[in-house]
């Protein structure tokens, strides 16, 4: 039955793109500098609309938890109102995210159960308030980190596809059949969105980035809780890039005495974009986007493929996480010297 949905999804995608272009829906004509970097003059942020369509269909078809669908729809709406310039306040968006995530954690008893740090695990187990605060903090970092890295066509989509492919093929023995089917269908849908994104037909927007990041976070937290013997730091490694991008950006802006939530064009992926643009004198922006996002995701894929063979070894995976952070900072410092002020 899902094969029919894939056909329906493709037709709906092109139909929605056509309607958006004809009636100027989901479009931001006054692009801020950081958005102008990654889009054309007209940015049709409809990736989130198509993604929530997939979740609605699959949840109804498989009779999954409708309350989960309600929460996913809520984070989607927060992003959608942001895309439509109806929710411009960063503080209000962040406040709504906090409320939504806390309610979700409460209703679904979602917990980061263990970190393999004995004292901290004891606190997480015995103090529900600390657990809620810690889990909320982690999900908020991921949600907003995912939005931060959605600055190159294909970056966030490729990254999440890699995560689910790693789960599907590398950890397939930890899933039941129906869950494998869902993962397979999700990978197909994300791949369709990736093709449309790389060709400039659509953008994920805040709605797509929020929705995809929240779902991936929830999925991996549950996966970690259900597979105790697998190191919880494997999940941290899989999500390291968007999370560290956000944390590094906050630290970077704090040292400059500027507002931590103020957008700029000095993220690592933007410096890599500038590198390809200048070094190879590329004029086609879509090609530059492809090379830049491909470079970041190829690195992540190689790291994940190595780490998956040590999924029970927390020390090895933690060392990999530290290695990634060091590589990020070194790459940033090297690229910043030549390409920081070369924005296009």
Instruction: Tell me what pLDDT residue 344 has.
Output: 43
Name the token pair of 176: 């039941």
Instruction: Tell me what pLDDT residue 50 has.
Output: 93
Q: What is the tens place of the pLDDT at every residue in 184-240?
A: 889 999 999 999 999 888 899 999 999 999 999 999 999 998 888 899 999 999 999
Q: Which of 50, 48, 45, 40 is nearest to 15 (CA)?
A: 50
- Cα 220 from Cα 177, distance rounded (Å): 18
Give helix 128-148 / helix 118-126 axis angle, nearest 10°: 110
* Cβ–Cβ under 8 Å, residues 206 and 83: yes
Instruction: Tell me what pLDDT residue 84 has.
Output: 86
Mean pLDDT of the chain: 88
Q: Which of 114, 314, 154 is nearest to 234 (CA)?
A: 314
Mean pLDDT of 234-261: 92
Task: Give the pTM.
Answer: 0.92
Mean pLDDT of 133-144: 96
Q: Which residue ranges make up each domain of the chain?
A: 2-339
Mean pLDDT of 25-31: 63
User: How does 98-137 read in b/e, with b if 16+ C-beta sit within 10 Å?
Assistant: eebbeebbeeeebbbebbeeeeeeeebeeeeeebbebbbe
In this predicted structure, the answer to whether residue 37 has a pLDDT above a threshold of 90 is: no
Q: Which of 114, 117, 135, 133 is nearest to 125 (CA)?
A: 114
Worst-scoring range by mean pLDDT, 38-42, 48-52, 130-134, 156-160? Answer: 38-42
338 or 334: which carries more pLDDT confidence?
A: 334
Worst-scoring range by mean pLDDT, 31-40, 53-62, 160-169, 331-340? Answer: 31-40
Instruction: Tell me what pLDDT residue 9 has.
Output: 81
In this predicted structure, the answer to whether residue 40 has a pLDDT above a threshold of 60 is: no
Q: Sorting pLDDT into bands at 50, 70 and 90, what band is 107?
A: confident
67 or 78: which carries more pLDDT confidence?
A: 78
Helix (H, G, I), strand (E, B) or coil at 236: helix
Report CA-CA distances (Å) from 324 to 108, 206, 257, 302, 337: 32, 26, 26, 12, 20
């Amino acid at each position: 039955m899902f094969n029919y949905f894939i056909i329906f999804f493709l037709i709906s995608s092109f139909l929605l793109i056509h309607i958006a272009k004809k009636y100027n829906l989901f479009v931001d004509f006054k692009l801020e500098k950081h958005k102008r970097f990654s889009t054309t003059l007209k940015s049709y942020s409809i990736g989130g609309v198509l993604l929530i369509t997939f979740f609605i269909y699959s949840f109804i078809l498989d009779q999954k938890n409708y309350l989960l669908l309600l929460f996913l729809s809520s984070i989607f709406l927060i992003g959608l109102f942001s895309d439509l310039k109806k929710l411009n306040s960063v503080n209000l968006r962040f406040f709504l995210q906090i409320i939504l995530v806390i309610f979700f954690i409460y209703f679904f008893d979602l917990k980061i159960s263990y970190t393999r740090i004995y004292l901290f695990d004891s606190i997480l187990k015995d103090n529900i308030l600390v657990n809620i605060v810690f889990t909320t903090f982690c999900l908020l970092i991921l949600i907003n980190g995912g939005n931060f890295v959605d600055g190159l066509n294909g970056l966030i989509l490729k990254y999440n596809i890699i995560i689910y492919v790693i789960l599907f093929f590398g950890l397939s023995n930890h899933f039941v059949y129906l869950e494998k089917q869902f993962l397979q269908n999700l990978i197909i849908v994300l791949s369709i969105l990736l093709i449309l994104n790389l060709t400039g037909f659509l953008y994920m927007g805040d709605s797509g980035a929020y929705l995809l990041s929240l779902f991936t976070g929830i999925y991996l937290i549950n996966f970690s809780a259900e597979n105790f013997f697998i190191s919880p730091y494997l999940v941290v490694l899989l999500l390291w890039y968007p999370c560290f991008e956000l944390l590094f950006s906050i630290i970077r802006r704090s040292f400059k005495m500027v507002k931590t939530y103020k957008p700029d064009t000095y993220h690592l992926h933007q410096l890599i974009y500038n590198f390809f643009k200048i070094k190879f004198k590329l004029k086609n922006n879509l090609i530059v986007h492809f090379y830049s996002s491909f470079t970041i995701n190829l690195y992540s894929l190689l790291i994940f493929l190595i780490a998956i063979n040590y999924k029970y070894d927390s020390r090895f995976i933690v060392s990999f996480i530290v290695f990634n952070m060091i590589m990020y900072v070194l790459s940033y410092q090297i690229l910043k010297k030549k390409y920081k002020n070369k924005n296009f």
